[in-house]
Amino acid sequence: MPRNDDTLATRKPVAPLGIIPLKSCEPLGDKVDAYLVKWRKNRKSDHLDFVEKASYSSDSYKISVSTPRFGSGEAKGQINESVRGLDLYIMVDVTNYSLTYSLCGQTNHMSPDDHYADLKRVIAAVGGKAKRITVIMPFLYESRQHRRTARESLDCAMALQELVAMGVENIITFDAHDPRVQNSIPLHGFESVQPAYQFIKGICKHVKDLQIDNDHLMIISPDEGGTGRAVYMATVLGVDMGMFYKRRDYSKIVDGRNPIVAHEFLGSSVEGKDVIIVDDMISSGESMIDVARQLKKRKANRIFCVSTFGLFTNGLDSFDKAVEEGLIYKVVTTNLVYQTPELLSRDYYISCDMSKYIAYIIDTLNHDCSISSLLDPYERIDKLITKYRKGEY
């Protein structure tokens, strides 16, 4: 049962609930739907009238949609059942490259642009008939292009403005590269959710000999941009934190960015300590592995690479090698983005399931309740660590 069940049992929903997980997000959407079905069937609904009760408890809240493509590669959005008056939650994973489509007889893998275009097609197909639309986009589209440093486009801000112009009221994302992009839509809802609790839960579940204190554990930020994330985790765990900053060569550009010359470390000694490197994403993984190598030179013990999004754009070979060399002990990411079967098969990999958390958020918002307690997991982390130290977890 949800932790805020008592509150929800006395509130009426804003409107009947509808979930649209696009094809890119179907496995995660199915899990979220299962949680909602289970909770609502067990929850008291005596305060609802006959009509409200009929839509409140359901065998599924998923709405069938499709985005068929023509031979030219063009597509359209299609809603296959009524969405009139629903409180809609549309889920999309813009990084799911495993999906393909035919383009003039050639097989194309779907890019973030394709997924974003499909999201807009589905919103357009809704045609303003829903009561409210919330977009759940775990990896925020174009979030790495969040600021202008030269004469270049501001893609993330443009995308957010485009979505709210189409009628989207709330946008929920996870660990946005820079949450300040919400300044582009100041009159609409934008939440960047941190999965700190799920990270700690995942590590505690799979590693039983972790000593969570200042003498045996340290949190590291691999760059200056992720310092806030590391400071929060270090504070709730009661341990030290350190950070690296990336020294770059600004005289040239490689793959759209200035290449990193070296990682410089700021912080106390890591000698003999287990270390958690926490970041928002693992893209190629070069930075994470380089930071792990630097920490090993400073005589760190076990190294955990923790990231919200495991993209692994260059494959897993470099991580396999780093684990063999003893640089990395565990890699921890979430199921918010597509996970390859190869990744899931690795012994060193820990997957943190976010479906229950997303279901909590959807359930709470549908009842028009505050999600503040869900966004701050301090109490849950504290209880988990207390149980772990007693050997009860």
Instruction: Provide the b/e sequence for 343-362 (b: ≥16 CB within 10 Å).
Output: beeeebbbbbebbebbbbbb
User: In whole angstroms, what is the distance from residue 200 CA to residue 388 CA?
Assistant: 10
Q: Which residues contact 128 (CB under 8 A, 6 or more apart)?
A: 167
3-state secondary structure at position 202: helix
pLDDT in tens, the chain (393 residues): 345 566 777 788 999 999 999 999 999 999 999 999 999 888 877 677 777 777 888 899 999 999 999 988 899 999 999 999 999 999 999 999 999 998 888 999 999 999 999 999 999 999 999 999 999 999 999 998 888 888 889 999 999 999 999 999 999 999 998 889 999 999 999 999 999 999 999 999 999 899 999 999 999 998 887 888 899 999 999 999 999 887 777 788 887 777 877 777 888 889 999 999 999 999 988 889 989 999 999 999 999 999 999 999 998 999 999 999 999 999 999 999 999 999 999 999 999 999 999 999 999 999 999 888 888 888 999 999 999 988 877
Q: Enter the tokens of residue 2.
A: 């949800």
